[in-house]
Structure 1
């Protein structure tokens, strides 16, 4: 299983804040840099977020684990299998 990353800072905008900023830019036709300055977020991050919305992708905020091989469900199934096999063969070696 990959290690769980513990946040050390509170940097990075919240998803609700980015949605609100994108709404201001797209619906009220305000400039990206002006909205970013008013809401105290990075204009490049806001621009990337808006580009993803316009290209019909689902924008995600936060960090993604790059070392993940199995999904959460697969990890849980694998853990149950290992525990069962360890219980069955305990003491045979």
Structure 2
């Protein structure tokens, strides 16, 4: 059986692991998070399938998770529509 060279070289984006941990902690579904963070219900599903994420998107997603954690006492996380400021590290 021959191995697909493209698939064997695929490495999951480290941001995906952070998102997965956030989903577990927050209880949000992948679809709900995608809508909140990117207005894209397929965002997390596509990342799981290998979607590459631009720097500006990373900043926006990280800002969303930080904002949601800051609002932890409220009923549900609300993410900002636009991320501002400088590029942030993935660890949040």
Please indicate the TM-score interval, normalised by the length of the shorter structure. Answer: under 0.3
User: Which of the two has higher C-alpha Rg?
Assistant: 1
Provide TM-score, normalisation by structure 1.
0.27
Q: TM-score when scaled to structure 2?
A: 0.27
